[in-house]
Each structure stands twice: as structure tokens, then as C-alpha cells.
Structure 1
Amino acid sequence: MRTKNSRLVYADGNQVLAAMDRRGFIRLGACAAVSMLAGCGGGSSGSQAATTPDQSSTLPAGVPMTLSVQQAMPNTATLDASFASLSYEKGHINTSPGVYFGPGNTNLIGLLNALGAGMLRIGGNTVDRNTWTPAGVGQTKGQVSRIDVANFAKFIKRCPRWKVIYGINFAGARGSTSSPSLAADEAAYVAQQLGGQLLAFEIGNEPDQYGDSRTPNLSGITYDIFLNGGTVAQGTISGWNQFAQAIANAVNGAVFSGPAASSGTSGWAESFAVSETGKIALVTEHYYISNYSSAAPTIAGMLNYPDTSLVAELQKLQSVSQQAGIPFRIDEANSYFSSALPAGVSNVFASALWAVDFIFTHAQYGASGLNFHNNGSIDSYAVIGDAQGVVTAVQPLYYALMFFSQIFADGASGQLLTTALSASDVAVSAFAVATGSGATYVVVNNKDSDNGANVTIQLDASASRATVMTLASSGANAADQLANPGIYNSGAGITFGGQAVALDGAWQGTPQQTLDVTDQRVTVHVAPVSAALIRIR
């Protein structure tokens, strides 16, 4: 693919020379045009007069392109509001003084319910650092008690359209204790408390990384030892199969996902899917776009599309999923991980535009969904900021999940459609979904900082009306808009449908345009550094 060199301007004014593929070319200069979709400089979000294709000359300046929307894309999973969901550290259950996962956290309950439905994964490194202590007093570091699980159950029952993947300690890290019997006892109580909202148990976290500095007690572990047990640094251990059997004996009809492998080690998830076919209902793996091994995080690097490493990982998982007949899910994912270094990249508006592409890339390659990991830090990749058990911020990344969820706001499911976008040097991506309610949703994601996009959508079926809702940031220019961390982190406003999301999930966004569809065509202007959700019916 042809590449260009462009001087990229970051929020701090520094410049570097970078080579990027044509679709991923990010030009962080001044905003070139005022958008009638409120995508530039925090412009008006009011309604606009209907614009039909033969009136396209009245559109703001933008690069013309055509998007052909065709039939359903083969080998993809059914999409619904649960497709793009959340992952949390298990430590959020038991270490928050305010009981983060408790029935009194009405803000968090509101934010989850505002997304319609979801799949909440309780996992992360703290899965392997907490000992099941059934008689414990609760809210105690290093322990998970019946009180903690009961609080969590009361919380999730207030989010009735959410299911749970629940992590169980395997590694016994940092002085914690794990065993098949403890796992079975915890699983039995979790199943009793969560009832039908329990989707699956996940045993351990990133077992392909066991034996490193975080789990030196497992030094010498191999895939076979993880699976079937054997001798490691701490002595003889039980394997995943022994843990799963103990849980299955304690919980009638227990369902398992796994192995929750890191994307850094090739083959673990694939081998697990083959060896454990019939024992698991979901293959799980993790993915982050960078671990700082080669370069510091940058907005331009984050927005580079497509992410070829992600595509390769998804293709491998899709292949083994089809062979084993088991769906797969990236159940822990995000951009640049670490609690401090990503500040100014992972916690700004650019992350919302990145996440739109990230979500749809998963859909294109057959994933049954993904879970954005949430560490709560507003200086990092958090979806929802929190401190001491209290919700403190609706982060820019949350807006991407809200944007996606509106496709399924009426409860319908959907199918990804094949699309073809005419070539240009503008950093625009586009996707389409046909829903069971009869509507077609088109997403146009414009990461380009210099150019608007005038996209003529060519449908393969008749339609009469299109409405447009825009995801946009505020700022004096495109660079400021991309680097805007939002109002909860000393930034400016971020809106979807002309409205911000409140701490309790309240949101009153509405379409900002209504357009006529003529001869199965409609043209939409999408301003620089904004995304448009177009509902066509």
C-alpha cells in the first residue's frame, strides 16, 4: 500500500516525521471548515435543512467520496448492544471503601444501563491475587468474601440486561491462596448469587505470562502443566482441568471461557480452543495496541488504521474458532496500557475515534465481541473514571461505546454489511450494520484533521429518510479537539447527538440532521476529527 510522509503536530506543539498508510494518514493541522455537524471547534449542534444528493454543492467543503453499502459480510457474528462491553479488575469488587460494585452506586448503574446491555468481565491481574475467604468481613485487600459477592450481585441485578464473566484465582500470586476446592466453593456462591446473569467462569488471567515477575511462584510452568498440573517453583500444582472439574462438580451446568491469554504469546488461545473443545463455550484472549516496547504512545500512532497486528490476531482466532465451533471474544482490550504514561493519548477524544474503528475491526473478523478494560484512572485508558468507589468521570472512551450502542437502542440485533469506500488520501473509515428492526446504520469515522468528508452513500435497497448524529469534540482547532480530555479532566465538552453524557448516564442526544434519500443515495458531510452515525430507513 502506498505511504506518505507527513509532519504530525501533537498537542504539545512538537513535530515528528512519520510514514503511515493512506487510510491511516493523520494530519493534525488547523480545522479547514466549519461543520454543520458540530464536529469542528464545538460548533452548533442544531438541526439542519434536509440535503438531498442533488444539493450536495451546498455542503461545507469536503473531499468527495462514495460509500457502497452491500450485502451481509460473511463469517461474522451477530451484533448487539453486548458486543462492545467492559472489563474490570476483580479488585474493584473488594477494595473500594464506597463499594464500587454495590447497589448504592447509582451513577455506575446508570452508565451501564445507558449502554442498553453488556457483558461485564471481572478479571485482570487481581484475579490471581485474591483469596476466596467466604467468612471474611468484606472490602479487604487480598480477599473476596461472600459479602463482596453479594454486593456485586445486588449491583448487577440493577443492570438486568448485563451478563457476567467471572474470574477465579488460579496462580495464587502475591501470597494469595488458590486450589480447586476454593475455586469450587467460590464458584458455587457466585452462581447462587448471580443466577441467570452469570455467563461463564474464567480460570486465571493471562496464563501464558505465568512464571514472570508477577508470578515467580509458577516459574517453570508450561502449557501442559497449566492445563493438566505438574511441578513448578512452588511445588506440585493442579491444572486448569482440575479446577474446571471441581467447579463443574459444584455448579450444575457450569459454563467456562478461557484461557484469557495475553496477545503477546502466539498459540495459547488457539491450542486451548482445540484441546478444550467441548469444555468451553467461549475462547478468550487479550489485546492492547502497544506496551511501549518500541515507541512512546502518540495520538497519530493510536489512530493509524487499520491496525495490522490486530487484524492478524483476529484472523488467527477466527480460523481456530471456525475449526473448533466455539465463538471467540477479546475480553480484555484497550489502547496504551499503564496508569500514567498514556496521559494525553489514551484519555483524550482521539481515543473515542480510535475505539470506533477498533470495535468494527473486531466485527469484521468474526469476534463475538470485546471488553474494554477499565482501570478507573482518568489519566489512563479508563472508560469510566473512579476514585474510592465513586464514579468521577465519563471518559472520552465511553462515548465510543455509547455511539455503538445506539445502533441497538431499540433492542434489535444486527448484521455487519460489506462496504466499499472510494479511495482518497483522507483518513476516513466507514462501516454499516443492518438491524432486525429494518434500519440500516452507516458509520463514517473521519480522523483527518485537515479535511471534511462529503460521503455519498449508495444503498442496494430503497430507503426514504436518513438521520445523522455526530460524535464531536470542542477546541480551537483539530489538534486541540483530538487532545481534549473532556470536562472531567480539565478539558472542554465532548458531545454525541449534540449532548454530553452525565455522571449517572443521563443523555438526551438527538439527530442533528434529517436527509432525504433519493435513488438509493444520500450525501452526508462529516467534519474533520468527528464521527457520524447515520440511520437510514
Structure 2
Amino acid sequence: MRRRTFLSLSLAAAAMPASAKTETVAIAVGDTTLATMPTDFNGLSYENTQLYNPDYFSTKNAGLVAAFRGLSKAGVLRLGGSLSNSCRWKSEAGTFETPAQTAIVEEGRIKKWEWKLCDPTVKRDGAITPAALASLRGFCDATGWRVIYGLDCTAGGPERARDEAAHVVAALDDRLLAFQVGNEADFLPQYKNSPTDKVGDFERYYRDYQAFVAAVRQAAPKAPFAGPDTAVAMDWVDAFGKREGRKAVFLSSHLYDMGPGNDPSQNAELLLSGKSRLPSQIAEAAQAMKNSGVPFRLTEVNSCYRGGRPGVSDAYASALWCADMMLKRAAVGWAGVNLHGGGDGIYTPIEAAVDGSTKLRPLYFGMQFAEHFAGAELMACEAKTDANVTAYAARKGGRKLLALINKGAERVTVAQTWVKPARITRLTAPALDAKTGVVLKTTAAQGATTVPAYSAVILIG
């Protein structure tokens, strides 16, 4: 063996420690259907300033079209993000800017790090235009996706929203799933009661929200809305649901499992441990859905806030995390999730390279793994083990699916009688910190099922 090859394999083995011990995981599947995973559950989230480049979300971008279709034939693209609070719109009617709004746009242009989440050709002094919306419609028709469109409630007022939304509705038509007003408004200064207030004033936001809706519906009477798209404030979600009820397409908020990205303690072990505020968010979302009768969608989610953690968010560990994250949320009846990214950001599922090409990151394959369950009825399922393994069972089109995600260092053998697998899909990689070599492959099932350390399988029968 050549020395370079030997060193490469040795480093890979060191990066993915595995115990020689084999655990047996007993799987118990009940008769109760927990939820049906919607066919449009899978989604991506981008800064809406990506529309400054009208050729990005366009049929001209064949690599991106293929990447979106490879994730889902009916996904949801959310355009919002932090930059949506300081973006510019320009139509034949003008830019609708006031001196105060111009200052907000300029501050965002200079200070916000999120520009890294736009492709390299985006110019910070650009604007969203009707031409970009026309390109976006072609992109949606080519991919089968729909759009959640964020309206700027900081640098843009209701008059701008009326003009912008009218163009969005005209361009997207049935490809528009919903408008949202503001991104993470619970963190915006105008809704804070004091400098130390961690969660803003919902009543003030809701008055502004109503003004935006009224303005938009002057131009587009049937325009669909959702919200409130908060960073953390699930009490806002509940209050919004109670006020809007079924007038809202869905309720929405965000979640990052760890962070910030510059903290070295935010590592793969922590990401795969499952420690986050998810349990409380699940409980609060369930209450909000019950109170309003409206579904809940996680419109912005990823592994590590403030841009991601190098060697974790852009590596294979993120694929295992994502597969589990998506199925866990599907099993509690959520409407969908949107993985945030774009450009060459550390946590983006799809990289926009400098040369204009599209590259698939490890996270993308975790999304593909979960997509196998789109349209499936998720059943009550328990993995009886002390190992770091989760299990998800489902029925789909006369078939049974059983996913096992092994996020630990021990190899596991599966003991179950629920499904007799004819095929098996495996998610593997050379190492937890591997940025290439991630494989998602389906083969014929043979013999007993073993799930190696840090890997995932779907038994199909």
C-alpha cells in the first residue's frame, strides 16, 4: 500500500472511532399511525437577496435544477433569512425607499455576514426585480417546488410590500405557498420592550403584520399568508395561531441545534447527542397546532447557528443529524422543514461554487435519506437499546419502511419481525468529518441486518 493511501485511511479511521462491541437493538412497532409525512415536507431556505442574481433560481442553472429535483419532486423553497430585513426591491414603480430605509439597507450591506450565503456573483448594492421573479417561476416549474416568500418589514413598508407582492403573485401564481412578514421579528429592535428584552412584543408586531396583509390584499385579494417566522418565541406562534386561525397557511418558527459556530465545543459528538431545545419546541408547537387547527412548519433549521461549525456542519456528521432531525419532526406531525443555506456557507446543503457549478454537501444526503418517507404513514416505533440509535417505521404504498440511524460508536444488530426486507438503503461515509465520499445506496437485502457505527439504513419490504 502506498504511504499516502495508508495515511489517508488511518486518518479516516481516527476521525470515526468505533467500538468492537456489537449491541443488539430490539425494534417494537405499534399499530398506531403517528402522522403522514407530507410530500412537500422537504425544503430549503435561502436569503432572499439571492434573487439579486436573476439567473440563479432559473432554468439556466441546470445543476441547481437537478439538485432540487434530486431532493424532492414537490419541495418548498423558502426565501427570507436575516438579509430579508435589509433588502431592496425595484420595479417600474421605483424602490419605495425612504432615508431611514436606505440607512437600514446600507447597514445590512456592510455589516451582515449572511452575504456568504448568496452565490459569489450577487452584488450587495443590487435589488430584487420582476425579472428575477419570472426566472423563479421557470425554476419552480422545472423542479416542481413551491415558494414561501418573505416580505421585508424593516427596510420596506406596506406600500413596497403591496407592489412587490403583486409582482410575486403575478409571477408565481400557484407556485406561491405563502407570504411571511419579517424574519425573526422577535429579535428585531422595534419589537423589543427594553434593551434586555430577549423576546419582543407580539402585539406590536401583529399590528404591523395586519397592516402588511391589508396592503398586499389591495393588490392581491387572495394572497396567502403564514407566520410569524420567529427565531425562538413559540408563544408568538401560539398567539399568531389563535388570532389568524385557518386564515394562515401554516405556523412557523426556527431552530438551530447548537452554536455559535465559532465555539470549539460545538462538535460532532454534541450534534449527534440530540441535546437541543427541540423537546420543548415540539410540545409548544403541538399546543399551537391544537389551539389553531393550523399545521406547523420549521421554516429555518440547521446544525449550528452563526453560519455553522467547520468540520461538523459541512461534514458527514451533519448528514446523520439531518436524517434523524427530519424524521423526528415528521413523526410529530409537522408540515415540513427548510434547511437554511446558500452560497458556500459552511452549513449549506448545496454549494454554489465560484466557477458557477453546483456541489452537493454531506447534509444533502441526509435530506435525501429522509425523503424516502415522503407520503408515508409513520407508525409508533421504539428502539429498545442504550445505544445512540433511533428508529422510524412507516407504511407507504403497500410497502413497509424501517429506518435505523446509528449516531454512536458501537455497531448494532437489529432484532425485528415487522418487515421482511427485500432491499436496504445505506447512508455511509469514510469518517464523521468526511466532506466527500458520502454514499446513499440501495441494494438487495441479504441476511441479518447490521448497522455499523455512525451510519443509517432503511429496510424496505
Equivalent residues of 1:100, 1:390 under 8 A apart: no
Note the aligned Cα RMSD (angstroms).
Answer: 2.9
Gaps of 5+ in 2: 1-10, 96-120
Residue number in structure 1 paired with 2:221: 252
Residue number in structure 2 paired with 1:288: 256
Superposed CA offset, 1:296-339 (max 9, x none): 3111000003x451111121011111111011111100011223
Alignment of 1:55-454 (within 5 A): 62-74=22-34, 76=35, 78-95=36-53, 99-115=55-71, 116-135=73-92, 141-160=125-144, 162-172=145-155, 178-211=156-189, 222-228=201-207, 239-263=208-232, 265-292=233-260, 296-305=265-274, 307-339=275-307, 342-377=309-344, 380-387=346-353, 390-408=356-374, 413-424=375-386, 426-435=387-396, 437-449=397-409, 451-454=410-413
Superposed CA offset, 1:210-237 (max 9, x none): 11899x9xx9973222211xxxxxxxxx
Matched, 1:466 2:428: no
Structure 2 distance, partners of 1:166, 1:83, is 17
Gaps of 5+ in 1: 1-12, 14-26, 34-60, 173-177, 229-238, 475-480, 487-492, 498-510, 517-522
Residue number in structure 1 paired with 2:109: none
Equivalent residues of 1:62, 1:525 under 8 A apart: no
Structure 1 distance, partners of 2:356, 2:191, is 31
Equivalent residues of 1:28, 1:448 under 8 A apart: no
TM-score normalised to structure 2 length: 0.84
Superposed CA offset, 1:160-195 (max 9, x none): 2x11111111111xxxxx121211111111111112
1:81 Cα shift? 3.8
Superposed CA offset, 1:356-414 (max 9, x none): 11112212322111110013325x11100114583442000000111122344xxxx21
Structure 2 distance, partners of 1:30, 1:284, is 38
Equivalent residues of 1:129, 1:142 under 8 A apart: no
1:86 aligned counterpart, secondary structure:
strand
Query: With CA pairs under 8 Å and 6+ residues apart, which has the higher RCO, 1 or 2?
Result: 1
Equivalent residues of 1:119, 1:165 under 8 A apart: yes
Structure 2 distance, partners of 1:406, 1:396, is 17
The AA in structure 2 aligned to 1:224 is: E
Structure 2 distance, partners of 1:295, 1:483, is 14
Equivalent residues of 1:384, 1:393 under 8 A apart: yes
Structure 1 distance, partners of 2:216, 2:191, is 28
Alignment of 1:463-502 (within 5 A): 465-474=421-430, 481-486=431-436, 493-497=437-441
Provide runs of 4+ in structure 1 moved above 4 Å. Answer: 136-140
Q: Which of 446, 451, 455 is the equivalent residue of 1:526?
A: 451
Equivalent residues of 1:335, 1:381 under 8 A apart: yes
From the superposition, tell whether residues 180 and 470 of structure 1 become closer, same or farther in structure 2 (CA, over 3 Å).
same
The structure with more radius of gyration? 1
Residue number in structure 2 paired with 1:512: 443
Residue number in structure 2 paired with 1:508: none
TM-score normalised to structure 1 length: 0.72
1:126 Cα shift? 1.6
Q: Which has the higher helix share?
A: 2
Structure 2 distance, partners of 1:184, 1:274, is 25
2:458 aligned counterpart, secondary structure:
strand
1:295 Cα shift? 6.9
From the superposition, tell whether residues 311 and 146 of structure 1 become closer, same or farther in structure 2 (CA, over 3 Å).
same
Q: How many residue pairs end up in the alignment?
A: 418
